Every structure is written in structure tokens, then in C-alpha cells.
Amino acid sequence: MDWKIGLPANKRQPFAVMLILVSLLPASWSCGVYSFSGSAYPHIKSIAIPLFDDRTAEFGVRENLTNALVEAFTRDNTLRIADRRNADAILEGVLMKVEDRAGAYNRQEQVDEIQVFLTVRLTYRDVKKRKIIWEDTITQFGTYTPGGGEKSTREDAINEAIAKIADEVLNRTVSGW
């Protein structure tokens, strides 16, 4: 069986080689495009997270929130934690509100669960280019059972809300990496 595609015999072999090479080109492009440093901000390699400001009367929450964010970024290891003078980016925050709300009632119309909401205003800034990358207000909550139970303390609920905020901020900050 002779393979004829309308070309003279002396042109068939180079044409076949070229056809094979052209079909392999897209596969080689996909290997060269991917990079671990494919961020929209490749120059940002470190972040500073100074102690958040506090507009509440809650003792210790801003410290715990700041520490949770530092720990989350340290575990993630996409951005290195640095001091303010040496960082490529800075994450600043203000603890705006800590609010308790009834979350669930029992049949006797007594509160079975209380939700503690934390509201934080955040600004993520590119220090080198002197621009704001994003700023937002984030609210998360944790729950506890008054009078005992699995989640028995208000502090447990606050820590749950802090963990949720830390995860959300980390994901938003390093998305696209």
C-alpha cells in the first residue's frame, strides 16, 4: 500500500517529518509555560504582618488573630514572614467588632448555641510598587454551647472564628501562585 498525498515522492518524507513536528509543538508549549512563580506579583516573596489594631474591648483577640495569620503563612510557606522594613508586601488589619448572637434555640426557647462573630478590616499592600493589592472587611464566626458541651467556652468560639479568618486571608493572598 503506497501512501500518496498528492506530493511528489521526493517531497513526501520531509512533509511527514514536518507534520509530526508541528503536531508535537503544542505539547512542548504546555511544558514551557507552567511555573511555580507564575503569580501576578512575582516580585513579592515576603510579607510583614504587624500587630493588628483593635477597636473592641476584647482582651487578647487581636494578638491571637495576628499570631494565627503569621502561623498560617509560615505553614503555607508561599511567602516568607519578614519584618516591616524588609518585606515585599504588608498585611495590615483592624479588629472592628466582636459580637455574640444567639445561634440556635431549643424547644423551651432557650439558647442552645451562641455564635461569636469577628469582623476584621484588612489591607494587603505591595510595598515595592506602593499600591494596594486588595482590601476588604471579613466576618467569620465560631460557636459555643452556653453552660457546657463540646464547644463549651466563648474562647473556643473566638479561636474557631480566628482560624476561619486566617484561612480565608491566606487563600485570598496567595491565590494565583
Can you tell me the distance from the alpha carbon of 25 to that of 139, in angstroms, rounded to the nearest whole number?
48
By residue count, the chain amounts to 177
Place of cell 476561619: 164
Residues 74, 4: one domain?
Answer: no
pLDDT in tens, 43-94: 999 999 999 999 999 999 999 999 999 999 999 999 999 999 999 999 999 9
Split into its structural domains, the chain has a count of: 2
Hey, is 29 helix, strand or coil? helix
The parent domain of residue 20 ranges over 1-34
Residues 135, 163: one domain?
Answer: yes
Residues 111, 147: one domain?
Answer: yes
Can you tell me the distance from the alpha carbon of 30 to that of 13, in angstroms, rounded to the nearest whole number?
27
pLDDT in tens, 102-113: 876 666 666 678
Average model confidence (pLDDT) for the chain? Answer: 83
CATH of the domain at 77: 3.40.50.10610
DSSP state of 1: -
Residues 132, 68: one domain?
Answer: yes
CA-CA-CA-CA dihedral for 75, 76, 80, 84, to nearest 10:
-80
pLDDT of amino acid 8: 62
User: Do residues 88 and 44 lie in contact, with contact meaning Cβ atoms separated by under 8 Å?
Assistant: yes
Residues 80, 19: one domain?
Answer: no
Q: Is residue 117 in a domain?
A: yes
Can you tell me the distance from the alpha carbon of 137 to that of 69, in angstroms, rounded to the nearest whole number?
15
